[in-house]
Amino acid sequence: MQLNLSTWCEVKDYLKTQKDIIIPIGSMEQHGPMGFIGTDSICPEIVASGISKTQNVLIAPTIPVGMSQHHLAFPGSLTLRPTTMIAVIKDIILSLTGHGFTHLFFLNGHGGNVASIKTAFSEIYAEHSLSNKPSSVHLDLYNWYDGKRVEEIENKYFKDVNGSHATPSEISLSFYAHPDAVKKAELSPRVAPTNQFRDCFDFQNNFPDGRIGSDSSLASIAVGKELFEAAVQDALEIYKQFINNKP
């Protein structure tokens, strides 16, 4: 059930029996010469969509732009400042809790978002703790690629060259989601270097074509399909724990 395509009456009905919602959150940032700029939004969006096919759960619209300051030297990358992102997440959480939602599951596609999302959660909780008003909201953050089934597939196909940005894993999944838009590119070197990074200029110095430690050329729609099924199972498992274990 997509919030986007529901009416308020349908959401009202949904809330009579359940109070949980999945919020895909991604980014709009370069993913090397072959990867879509929207990779990190496309992936959690399709995984959420997969979940909603086996589980009756409401899916919020994907938050499309994340914390991607380090990618700004590559054309087309967009970022929110971390403090802007905190404000966005806070307003969305307040909107949802106002309707009675109690379990909000942020299904994330971008490692660079993690600290900002967690900080937004703490900002919300701090507001309650400082004003002596207990909160009824449960907030969880899960990266679609963090489950064991996904890891197995990554190890099977991309061992050692999955890297940490523009990975063949995430590119496969995004290709599976958008088969008509699949790209090809000569990668040189095949496997990108690894390193730390600071601002976008430092990032570009370290990673001239935008990839970190990955060989994106191994990406395929076929592996994307396997990853999709694995990621849906992984996320579903975590999601069920989330809505069951917490009162």
Selected range binding a copy of itself among 32-40, 142-150, 153-161, 221-229, rule: CB under 8 A: 32-40
Is there binding between residue 56 and a copy of itself (CB under 8 A)?
A: no
Half-sphere exposure of 206 (CA within 13 A, CB side): 17
Instruction: CB nearer to a copy of itself: give 3 or 161.
Output: 3
**Residue 157: CB minimum distance to a copy of itself, A:** 22
Cα gap 181→183, rounded to integer Å: 6
Cα gap 228→25, rounded to integer Å: 17
Is there binding between residue 18 and a copy of itself (CB under 8 A)?
A: no
**Residue 96: CB minimum distance to a copy of itself, A:** 7
Q: What is the DSSP letter of 1?
A: -
Residue with tokens 């730390």: 196
Is there binding between residue 37 and a copy of itself (CB under 8 A)?
A: yes
**Residue 92: CB minimum distance to a copy of itself, A:** 6
Is there binding between residue 44 and a copy of itself (CB under 8 A)?
A: no
Tokens of 125: 């909780």
- The 121-160 site mask, x for binding a copy of itself (CB under 8 A), equals -xx-xxxxxxxx-xx-xxx---------------------
Which DSSP string corresponds to 171-193? Answer: HHHHHHH-GGG------SSSSPP
Which DSSP string corresponds to 17-73? Answer: H--EEEEEE-----BTTTB-TTHHHHHHHHHHHHHHHHS--EEPPPB-----GGGTT
Selected range binding a copy of itself among 48-56, 68-76, 152-160, 224-232, rule: CB under 8 A: 68-76
Instruction: CB nearer to a copy of itself: give 8 or 159.
Output: 8
Instruction: CB nearer to a copy of itself: give 214 or 230.
Output: 214
Cα gap 187→34, rounded to integer Å: 9
Binders in 185-224 for a copy of itself, by CB under 8 A: 185, 196, 198-202, 210
